[in-house]
Amino acid sequence: MPENVHNSASPVTTGGASFNAAALVLADGTVYHGAGIGAVGSSVGEVCFNTSMTGYQEIVTDPSYAGQIITFTFPHIGNVGTNDEDIETITPAARGIVLRMDITEPSNWRASRHLDAWLKSHGLVGVCGIDARALTRRIRDGGPPSGVVAQAKPGETLDLDALVEQAKAFPGLEGMDLAKDVTCRQTHGWTEGAWAIGSGYAAAGEAKRKVVAIDYGCKRNILRCLTDIGCDVTVVPATATAEEVLRHNPDGVFLSNGPGDPAATGEYAVPVIREIVAAGKPVFGICLGHQMLALALGCATEKMTLGHRGANQPVKDFTTGKVEITSQNHGFRVKRESLPDGVVETHRSLFDGTLEGIRLAGRPVFSVQYHPEASPGPRDSHYLFRRFANMIDGVEE
């Protein structure tokens, strides 16, 4: 039997509800016992943590979390329920969730379903009632481990030895191409704009620019932001060729966020990006798109010990000298020392000094490591979409 067993931090507040046996089991044999939420079953992945205080539904539906089990450090998850609007993709790619407390009862006028029911509807396994603080320290000090989140059927117990072996068998995200799992299956247009109280998501207005977005796991709110700056957006799969992108005669090309190792996805994506840059098209990349643009420009990437996941990350923009609070979700980064001549650092993390943005000198090509669409998170970085529009229009900042 596993020896490193952690009991719940404190009794779970059930409110009269009945819970199944559940646990988070790590590859080193550590077991965090808790109570089951969401679907019955087990799911294996890389265990990470997110420090955001809002937006749990957007986080769980962010395709960038493919292959990962998300630990929420904020205790009151579920307090606004769930709805059919605050999603970044229809089918969540995350492997499961871990909570400190039982799911909070929803108290929001937009809530249409309890978080537990929503998790069950998507087959997402979760565990609550564990010592999330201890787990977060474990990840902080040792990096994100492989683990299994599991919930037993009513009246049954968990086979901990089998779960440890399942966790050990997970290869980790390094070298893993996950973009193919979460990308769209065919080319399509996007016509939805920003959400507003009373009217929902706006319809696209007059389009002044044609943009092709390459979908490596694109969040919906990114596409909405492109629509809001007057772009006619066409979305193409991650495996689209340069010819398939350029046949749309775009005014600019957007490289989306996504999961997995940029070097793995870059085996087929980087040659395409190089051709697009060589064609003289303005290019804007974020997150995985940023990392693969960097690879296409001759840089190198690496797995981070910890990664950045939260909505409170300070970043300095060297172009303006301003500091913005950003929303982030990445476990890989571009190595600053690998930047060749002509590739300029534009943004830097004020937490740990990570390179957070680059541009190609003399060309309308740039990218950032974080999520300027801010869903969830602060909107400090929305200006980057306008910067992209200005580059397309040939407007100097």
Distances (CA, A) of 159 to 151, 298, 336: 11, 48, 45
What is residue 103's DSSP assignment?
P
Q: Is the CB of residue 311 less than 8 Å from the CB of residue 376?
A: yes
DSSP string, 314-376: EEEETTT--EEEEEEEEEEEE-GGGPPTTEEEEEEETTT--EEEEEETTSSEEEESSBTT-SS
Q: Is the CB of residue 277 less than 8 Å from the CB of residue 271?
A: no
Task: Please state whether 207 falls in left (phi above 0), alpha (psi between -120 and 50) or beta.
Answer: beta
Catalytic residues: 287, 371, 373
What ranges make up the beta strands (E) of 7-163? 21-26, 31-38, 41-50, 68-72, 96-98, 125-128, 146-151
Q: Is the CB of residue 223 less than 8 Å from the CB of residue 213?
A: yes
